[in-house]
């Protein structure tokens, strides 16, 4: 079964708007990672947040982690058409390799 | 640095045939992963290697799937015989693993092999 589940499954916004994706997971983690996948390509690592961190920024990305609620969110500010992709959260429990969620498909309309 | 290389990019076979995929990880990356990604889903781990040893193959259907990593560098994944439900993208990833630890190491993915079973 999937450890992480993203919400929403699909999101369509206009260029310049912010996009927020959420991830919920079931067991305790060492860290949580977000990846992007463009159509027909492999996954690209975006950002990693450790279990003792609450918020992390990288360029237009902001990730939050709430270990008490077992949830994380990814915010993309000022979205661009090039941000159109699927976004996956992945949890690292330290016991095995990453477990990926089912992803959020983001469409940014120019 | 060169990324993770995979070949072929596409493969079409009939059910019950065999197929093999090849992966060359980023130079110096000790850990190598094979994932299966079914359309509309996230990647599911099939097998994880640390150098040339298997760390986790608990989700590998061993009656039909096999994988090896010769000399701790390149890896091949084989399916024999293929079933219709094996239609998917097979992704290879690698990561640094200093002193055998995989925590906090992002994974670097190849573009995958898209397998279609007729």
Report which of residues B98 and B61 the model is more confident about.
B61
Q: Along the 110 residues of chain A, how does pLDDT read in single tens digits? A: 456 788 899 999 999 999 999 999 999 999 999 999 999 999 999 999 999 999 999 999 999 999 999 999 999 999 999 999 999 999 988 777 889 999 999 999 99
Coil, helix or strand at residue A23: strand
pLDDT digit string (tens) for B7-63?
999 999 999 999 999 999 999 998 999 999 999 999 999 999 988 899 999 999 999
Cα B87 to Cα B102: distance, rounded to the nearest angstrom: 29
Per the CB < 8 Å rule, is B103 touching A40?
no
Q: To the nearest whole angstrom, how far is the Cα of B82 from the nearest Cα of chain A? A: 22
Q: Is the pLDDT of residue B101 over 70?
A: no
Nearest to B31 by CA among B90, B99, B102: B102
pLDDT surpassing 80 at residue B102: no
pLDDT band at B96 (very low <50, low <70, confident <90, very high): confident
Q: With CA atoms as reference, report the closest residue to A75 among A109, A52, A46.
A: A46
Q: Is the dihedral of CA A24, A35, B61, B25 positive or negative?
A: negative
Average pLDDT, stretch B70-84? Answer: 94
Residues of A in contact with B49 (CB under 8 A): none
Whether the CB-CB separation of A58 and A44 falls below 8 Å is answered with no
- Minimal Cα–Cα distance from B39 to chain A, Å? 10
- Cβ–Cβ under 8 Å, residues A6 and A21: yes
For position A96, what pLDDT does the model report? 73
Give dist(CA B87, CA B10) in Å, integer: 11
Whether chain A has a CB inside 8 Å of the CB on B1: the answer is no
Chain A residues near residue B44 by CB distance under 8 angstroms? 100
Nearest to A45 among B55, B103, B106 (CB): B106
What pLDDT, on the 0 to 100 scale, is given for residue B100? Answer: 46
């Amino acid at each position: 079964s999937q450890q992480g589940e993203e919400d929403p499954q699909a999101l369509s916004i206009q260029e310049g708007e912010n996009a927020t994706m959420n991830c919920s997971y079931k067991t305790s983690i060492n860290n949580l990672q977000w990846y992007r996948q463009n159509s027909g390509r492999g996954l690209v690592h975006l950002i990693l947040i450790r279990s003792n961190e609450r918020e992390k920024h990288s360029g237009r990305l902001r990730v939050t982690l709430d270990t008490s609620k077992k949830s994380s969110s990814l915010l993309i500010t000022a979205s661009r058409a090039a941000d159109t992709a699927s976004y996956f959260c992945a949890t690292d429990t330290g016991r095995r390799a990453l477990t990926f969620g089912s992803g959020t498909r983001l469409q940014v309309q120019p | 640095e060169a990324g993770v290389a995979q070949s072929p990019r596409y493969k079409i076979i009939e059910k019950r045939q065999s197929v093999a995929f090849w992966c060359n990880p980023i130079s110096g990356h000790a850990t190598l992963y094979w994932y299966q990604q079914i359309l509309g889903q996230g990647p599911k781990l099939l097998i994880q290697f640390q150098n040339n040893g298997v760390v986790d193959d608990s989700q590998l259907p061993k009656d039909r799937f096999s994988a090896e990593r010769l000399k701790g560098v390149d890896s091949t994944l084989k399916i024999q015989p293929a079933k219709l439900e094996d239609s998917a993208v097979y992704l290879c990833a690698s990561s640094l693993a200093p002193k055998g630890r995989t925590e906090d190491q992002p994974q670097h993915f190849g573009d995958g092999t898209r397998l279609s079973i007729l």
